[in-house]
Amino acid sequence: MECVVQGIIETQHVEALEILLQGLCGVQRERLRVHELCLKSGPSLGVVPSEVRLLCDLDQPDPTWTVKHVGGAMRGPGADQISVMVRTLIESKVSKNALRMFYALGYKLDHELLKVGFAFHFQRTANISVSVSSVNKMPKVHAIDEAVPVTPGMQIVDVTAPATPANYSEVAAAVSSFCEFLAPLVHLSKPFISTGVVPTAAAAAASLMSDGGGTAL
């Protein structure tokens, strides 16, 4: 299970966001370079159509692979009152030929993306991860060296935190509370409910860049 919010930010303000995050998180930023392959079951396979994501972390000396299954989001009046999305998530590290295995099992490549940016992982009531990345598409299958941004000039901000059925309320509150600190630069909301860029982001960014982040927003 995880709590997740997303937002978009103009690339010109990413540096300011990084300064802000550095100050808030108190940890070293990590580089992010992840090849994400979205696989879908073939036409007759499965009780229902299914989807699984393979992520290859290209930032390691030896690329490492993870399989991710993202389930449905929590729904109902309780979910509507929470400002973050709570959804099931199961992950597993896998060895490098997992893609070949899924192809052999009847899964097909639906689409693939290359995410390039940075991330912060820190503890604030919950284990929170913030990533800022450009999302890139490939002109040819697996051609990561030829990837180009899907939305030039814009980057995606993801804030996620693992949760359990017992603690998701506390985790959601922690994520919400953290997101308020980022509000001057980026609006974060449930995925697929975009609120656009923050109109005053330029001013906030200028403030951050001019004094290196020392001024409280």
Partner 1 sequence: MPVKWVLHWQPNQGSTVSSQILNEATQCVESINGVKEGRWKATLNYYKPLLRDQTNQAEFPRDFLGISLADQPNKYYFIIRSQRIVVEADSSIQLIMERLQSYKSKVALYFEGFQYQLGDFRLRVGKVVPTHSENVRGIVMEVEYLPISSMEKSRKVMEEFLEIWHEALSKRSLPGKFVNIDLNFGEFGLGDNYTPQHTAVRYALVMAHMIATVQAVRG
What are the residues binding partner 1 (CB under 8 A)? 41-48, 50, 52, 67, 69, 71, 88, 90-95, 97-98, 100-101, 104-107
Q: Which is nearer to partner 1, 96 or 142 (CB)?
A: 96
CB atoms within 10 A of CB 53: 17
Nearest to 130 by CA among 140, 120, 122, 139: 120
Q: Which is nearer to partner 1, 69 or 142 (CB)?
A: 69
Residue 216: is it exposed, middle or buried by C-beta count within 10 angstroms (0-12/13-18/19+)?
Answer: exposed
- The minimum distance between CB 4 and partner 1, in angstroms, equals 18
- What CA–CA distances, in Å, run from 72 to 3, 102, 121? 12, 22, 24
Q: Which two tokens stand for residue 198?
A: 């923050």
Three-state DSSP state, 100: helix
Q: Which is nearer to partner 1, 105 or 209 (CB)?
A: 105
Q: Which is nearer to partner 1, 48 or 141 (CB)?
A: 48
- The minimum distance between CB 71 and partner 1, in angstroms, equals 7
Backbone angles phi, psi at 77, to 5 degrees: -60, -35
Parallel/antiparallel/unpaired status of strands 148-149 and 154-162: unpaired
- The minimum distance between CB 111 and partner 1, in angstroms, equals 18
- The minimum distance between CB 40 and partner 1, in angstroms, equals 10
- The minimum distance between CB 105 and partner 1, in angstroms, equals 7
Q: Which is nearer to partner 1, 98 or 132 (CB)?
A: 98
Q: Which is nearer to partner 1, 72 or 153 (CB)?
A: 72
Contact by Cβ (8 Å): 30, 120: yes
Helices 168-182 and 14-25 pack at an angle, to 10 degrees, of 130
- The minimum distance between CB 41 and partner 1, in angstroms, equals 5
